């Protein structure tokens, strides 16, 4: 009983007759590694520029001295501490609301039989096709009307009801055996108690997977936060980094690379720690 | 009160918070965009009034709109097949037991988790004339200096390459999952029949990957119309609108010129395009896709 459908584990111990051997394997490995090197090149370059003095930004000498100076200069040049705090508040707020709203809606769609359920489901799924980015003009107007522009809740509000999250949780809740539900009800549990005691604990893998996808998406989101924020107090990291790197102080690539690494560090570290879960959560997200 | 009525009240109460948010930030703005596209933009002393198809006529006569549309189609034509093809190649490679498989997989996936806005700065440096990384490589081979992002001929290619780099590793994950879900017995059977590896891929693996290809394709099309973060950093639509894409133009019209009605009309075109994608997905491709 494992939440959403899970991809089968890689083939067993039986030998794969089409596994490449000899020269073919060497060629394939070489190609794969070359492509991998191109793919990490931007990150590798950022690391190089960030840990060397500015005069080595474009000169790749192995004996170049190492320094952490670029990080301290970047940290001092913009209120990154505030940006980190804002981003942290933002992703936590969005995730918390997404989980609560998603759980309630998914439970209704998965296990309640009521009038209008199919229409409601169709209305929710419509969000999968209409991307929020297309509606920036109208959403800006709505938030301006209620005086929320330049606040963190304004960045969060359009995203707290997530069709994707509701869909994912609904699929998971549908796999929970009906007997468990009935047993809890016989014990006298209310519908909300059944939800909290039976469904939510069983859907834990889905919650973790969805949480990873949501946090990485909103940590990286840029266009909407750029539009709704215009002060340090509400700007998340992505917008802060952009303001910082396009300022008039001349382009200092070493400092920009240091700032870039700082901005991405929490996600990169998270990725290294939860590599398997990350990859699996993206896979699960795709399999309908 | 009967059971059915109680269930309906319960159901809608559970749905209420999510539905209210969706209505406020998805359904309502979509309808409002449609309505606004037939109105004039309200100004200080002139409230909005009904102008019929004026905004759409303006659009038909607007060279920047057509430029953005053409750019977006070229951008889509450049990113979609290339990123899907590369993703498939990557997945086949890291599905085999090659040297350093885990590291290679991670390398392919890194662009997916890096903030686009952050790595766009680094790509900006790669494309910088005179001392950028690309220039250094070109110079090493004796090539001419090019202002990749500053030239009308190359700017769109440059932003397309960055988008491909961002997407391919993400799509690879789905192909990898699908490849691993193919039962090994199929490979054994094909080997007994004496099929070559290429025949096995073409006749067995590739057809079985069709649902994944469909899913990835839909994502790639949607992304082609929404991926604009790196354009903000690298070109801001320039030079001379050479990299202005549809969504970037909506942003410019709506928040640069504050012409909200015209932006609403442009939004409707974008939504229509997305609806078309949905229609193709559910209507046409779904029937032609071979499911397991």
B75 and B133: one domain? yes
Number of domains in chain B: 2
| Closest residue in A to B253 (Cα–Cα) | A137
Nearest to B104 among A33, A43, A120 (CB): A33
Identify the band that residue A3 occupies on the pLDDT scale cut at 50, 70 and 90: very low
Nearest to A134 among B103, B173, B247 (CB): B247
pLDDT of residue B249: 93
B69 within domain boundaries = yes
B42 within domain boundaries = no
B164 and B21: one domain? no
The domain spanning residue B73 has which CATH number?
Answer: 1.10.3720.10
Residue from A14, A22, A36, A273 whose CB has the most chain B CBs within 10 Å, to mutate: A36
Asked if B254 reaches chain A (Cβ–Cβ under 8 Å), the answer is yes
Percent of chain B with pLDDT over 70: 96
B22 and B126: one domain? no
Percent of chain B with pLDDT over 90: 29
Taking one residue from A and the other from B, the number of pairs with CB-CB distance under 8 angstroms is 299
B164 and B234: one domain? yes
B71 and B22: one domain? no
pLDDT of residue A104 exceeding 60: yes
Identify the band that residue A24 occupies on the pLDDT scale cut at 50, 70 and 90: confident
- Among B residues 97-156, those touching chain A with beta carbons less than 8 Å apart: 97-100, 103-119, 121-123, 125-126, 131, 133, 136
Identify the band that residue A155 occupies on the pLDDT scale cut at 50, 70 and 90: very high
B10 and B143: one domain? no
- Among B residues 17-56, those touching chain A with beta carbons less than 8 Å apart: 17-22, 24-30, 32-33, 36
Average pLDDT, chain B: 86
B58 within domain boundaries = no
- Mark yes or no for CB contact A8/B181 under 8 Å: yes
Give the range of the structural domain holding residue B83, as residue numbers without chain letter.
Answer: 64-288
B120 and B19: one domain? no
- Cβ–Cβ < 8 Å for B149, B158: yes
Identify the band that residue A67 occupies on the pLDDT scale cut at 50, 70 and 90: confident
pLDDT of residue A287: 46
pLDDT of residue A285: 60
B213 and B129: one domain? yes
pLDDT of residue A284 exceeding 80: no
- Mark yes or no for CB contact B33/A138 under 8 Å: yes
pTM here is 0.86
B41 within domain boundaries = no
B7 within domain boundaries = yes
B96 and B239: one domain? yes
pLDDT tens digits, residue range B234-257?
888 878 888 899 999 999 998 888
pLDDT tens digits, residue range A213-253?
899 899 999 999 999 998 888 999 999 888 887 765 567 78
**Among A138-152, B115-129, B143-157, which stretch is predicted with the lowest mean pLDDT?**
B143-157
pLDDT of residue B250: 92
- Mark yes or no for CB contact B274/A130 under 8 Å: yes
B2 and B99: one domain? no
B55 within domain boundaries = no
B17 and B100: one domain? no
Task: Kindly list the residues from chain B whose CB atom is less than 8 angstroms away from the CB atom of residue A133.
Answer: 226, 228, 247
- Mark yes or no for CB contact A39/B110 under 8 Å: yes
B35 within domain boundaries = no
Nearest to B10 among A10, A112, A124 (CB): A112
B21 and B86: one domain? no
B229 within domain boundaries = yes
């Amino acid at each position: 009983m494992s939440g959403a459908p899970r991809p089968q584990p890689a083939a067993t111990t039986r030998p794969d007759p089409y596994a490449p051997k000899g020269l073919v394997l060497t060629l394939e490995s070489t190609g794969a590694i070359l492509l991998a090197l191109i793919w990490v090149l931007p990150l590798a370059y950022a690391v190089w520029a960030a840990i060397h003095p500015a005069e080595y930004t474009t000169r790749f000498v192995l004996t170049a001295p190492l320094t952490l100076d670029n990080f301290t200069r970047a940290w001092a040049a913009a209120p990154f501490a505030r940006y980190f705090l804002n981003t942290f508040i933002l992703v936590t707020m969005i995730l918390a609301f997404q989980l609560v709203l998603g759980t309630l809606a998914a439970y209704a769609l998965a296990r309640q039989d009521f009038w209008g359920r199919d229409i409601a489901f169709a209305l929710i799924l419509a969000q999968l096709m209409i991307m929020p980015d297309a509606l920036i003009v109208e959403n800006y107007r709505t938030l301006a009307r209620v005086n929320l522009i330049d606040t963190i809740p304004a960045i969060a509000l359009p995203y707290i009801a997530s069709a994707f999250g509701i869909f994912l949780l609904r699929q998971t809740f549908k796999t929970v055996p009906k007997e468990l539900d009935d047993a809890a009800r016989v014990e006298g549990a209310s519908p909300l108690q059944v939800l909290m005691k039976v469904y939510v604990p069983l859907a834990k893998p889905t919650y973790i997977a969805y949480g990873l996808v949501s946090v990485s998406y909103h940590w990286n989101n840029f266009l909407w936060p750029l539009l709704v924020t215009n002060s340090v107090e509400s700007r998340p990291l992505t917008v802060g980094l952009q303001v910082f790197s396009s300022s008039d102080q001349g382009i200092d690539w070493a400092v920009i690379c240091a700032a870039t690494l700082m901005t991405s560090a929490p996600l990169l570290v998270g990725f290294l720690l939860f590599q398997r879960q990350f990859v699996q959560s993206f896979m699960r997200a795709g399999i309908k | 009160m009967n059971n059915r009525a109680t269930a309906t009240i319960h159901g809608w109460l559970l749905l209420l918070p999510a539905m209210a948010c969706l209505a406020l930030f998805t359904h309502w703005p979509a309808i409002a965009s449609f309505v606004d596209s037939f109105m004039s933009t309200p100004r200080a002393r002139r409230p909005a009034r009904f102008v019929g198809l004026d905004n759409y006529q303006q659009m038909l006569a607007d060279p920047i709109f057509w430029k953005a549309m053409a750019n977006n189609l070229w951008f889509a034509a450049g990113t979609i097949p290339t990123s899907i093809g590369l993703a498939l190649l990557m997945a086949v490679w890291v599905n085999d037991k090659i040297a350093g498989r885990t590291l290679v997989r991670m390398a392919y996936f890194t662009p997916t988790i890096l903030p686009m806005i952050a790595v766009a700065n680094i790509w900006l440096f790669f494309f910088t004339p005179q001392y950028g990384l690309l220039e250094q490589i070109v110079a090493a081979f004796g090539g001419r200096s090019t202002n990749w992002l500053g030239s009308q001929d190359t700017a769109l290619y440059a932003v397309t390459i960055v988008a491909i780099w961002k997407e391919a590793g993400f799509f690879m994950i789905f192909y990898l999952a699908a490849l691993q879900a193919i039962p090994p017995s199929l490979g054994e059977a094909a080997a007994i029949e004496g099929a070559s590896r290429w025949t096995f891929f073409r006749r067995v693996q590739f057809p079985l990957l069709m649902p994944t290809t469909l899913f990835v394709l839909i994502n790639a099309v949607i992304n082609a119309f929404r991926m604009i973060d790196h354009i903000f950093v690298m070109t801001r639509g320039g030079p001379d609108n050479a990299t202005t894409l549809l969504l970037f133009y909506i942003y410019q019209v709506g928040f640069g010129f504050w012409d909200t009605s015209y932006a609403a009309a442009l939004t409707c075109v974008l939504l229509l395009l997305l609806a078309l994608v949905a229609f193709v997905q559910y209507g046409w491709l779904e029937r032609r896709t071979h499911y397991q």
